[in-house]
Amino acid sequence: MKVSDHIRNANGKTMFSFEIVPPVKGQNIQDLYDNIEPLMEFNPPFIDVTTSREEYIYVNKGSGLLEQKVTRMRPGTVGICASIKHKFDVDTVPHLLCGGFTREETEYVLIDCHYLGIDNVMALRGDSAKHEQYFKPVNGGNHYAKELVNQIADLNKGKYLHESVDAKHSSNFCIGVAGYPEKHLESPSMKTDLQHLKDKVDAGAGYVVTQMFFDNQKYFDFVKMAREIGITVPIIPGIKPVAVKRHLQILPQVFSLDLPENLVKEIEKCTNNKEVRQVGVEWAIDQSKELIAAGVPLVHYYSMGKSSNIRAIAKEVF
């Protein structure tokens, strides 16, 4: 079922959803199942599965020679979506990236998703690859998420990349896109970033999932500004519980966001990461309760593949 239909059918009741990351190549999918299982009690209408950018690795060829190879360390997004859908009878949402994919490859992934009965896809640009300073699409790839939304919306109308296709049947994907309550790090201003979000929605996105934030007021202000410029689709808040002390540096650096002073103080008092996890869980519980009281359609949790802290939050909140 489409995410937009799940939201409509919930009749204003806030739902629980979460995102997982595919295992690193060579790992067992059972570990992923073991982390999903304890969360199914909270009836997620869908589970998101991320896609990772390709990266360079260096293979030792002996005699001091290193060969550079391009690889994707966490492949399998669509396969994982299909297996989770089948095993847990839940909708899954694969993340599709512009970065690292030609439009042709994207079309094949979309066709796979359609054949697998996947009704939703999240359309994202992706970050710049680790070896690049700025985002660069591959030759023949989409540059911005909006172009990817256009491609998916075209496919929904039976319009394939090559006009020679005699389309007798079309897909009907519900498209999610990313929004940034504290502005995307590359954007010159909040206003510009919001306009680009509106462009994605106008191109056919049916809902927005936000980047993580730790101060609910940032989300409430963002939703207000989005509504003022005519973005009417659901805006789902994304929540990540802080789990390790290093997050104090990593989260602002990677996601260009602020951590509230009270949260920083509580984390700094912790003498080990077990205590940090507890602070993170309690903060996320308070955030979730306030968001639910404000009537958000879902609270979406970034699990990073580990479920124990998300379960601790969900038990208190849902």
Binding site for ligand FAD (CB under 6 A): 50-51, 53, 95, 97, 124-127, 144-146, 178, 184, 186-187, 192-193, 196, 200, 209, 211, 238
CA dist 1 → 7, 173, 205, 243, 260 (Å): 10, 10, 16, 33, 37
Concerning whether 268 is annotated as a catalytic residue, the answer is no
Q: How far is the CB of 139 from ligand FAD (least distance, A)?
A: 18
Complex with ligand FAD: residue 121 or 276, whichever CB lies closer: 121
What's the rounded Cα separation, in Å, for the pair 224 and 218?
Answer: 10
Structure-token pair, residue 235: 């805006």
CB contact at 8 A, 252 and 259: yes
**Collapsed DSSP state (helix, strand, coil) of residue 144:** coil
Nearest distance from C-beta of residue 168 to ligand FAD, angstroms: 32
* Residue 215 C-beta: closest distance to ligand FAD, Å: 16
Least distance to ligand FAD, CB of residue 125, Å: 3
Which residue stretches of 58-207 are H helix? 77-88, 103-115, 145-156, 190-203
Query: Which tokens in the block code for residue 194?
Result: 């919001």
CA distance 4 to 147: 21
Nearest approach, Cβ of residue 147 and ligand FAD (Å): 8
Measured from the CB atom, is 63 or 189 closer to ligand FAD?
A: 189
Residue ranges with strand state E in the chain: 15-20, 46-49, 55-62, 65-71, 91-97, 120-124, 174-179, 207-212, 235-239, 298-302
Of 97 and 279, nearer to ligand FAD (C-beta) is 97
CB of 121 to ligand FAD, least distance (A): 11
**Of 7 and 209, CB closest to ligand FAD:** 209
Q: Residue 267 has which token pair?
A: 């984390």
DSSP result, 99-135: TT--HHHHHHHHHHHHHTT--EEEEE--PPPTT-SS-
Whichever of 187 and 273 has its CB closer to ligand FAD, that residue is 187
Question: Which CB atom, from 51 or from 151, has the smaller least distance to ligand FAD?
Answer: 51
DSSP secondary-structure letter at 258?
P
Catalytic residue among 19, 147, 182, 266: 19
Query: Which of 46, 50, 39 lies closest to 1 in space, CA to CA?
Result: 46
Annotated catalytic residues are: 19
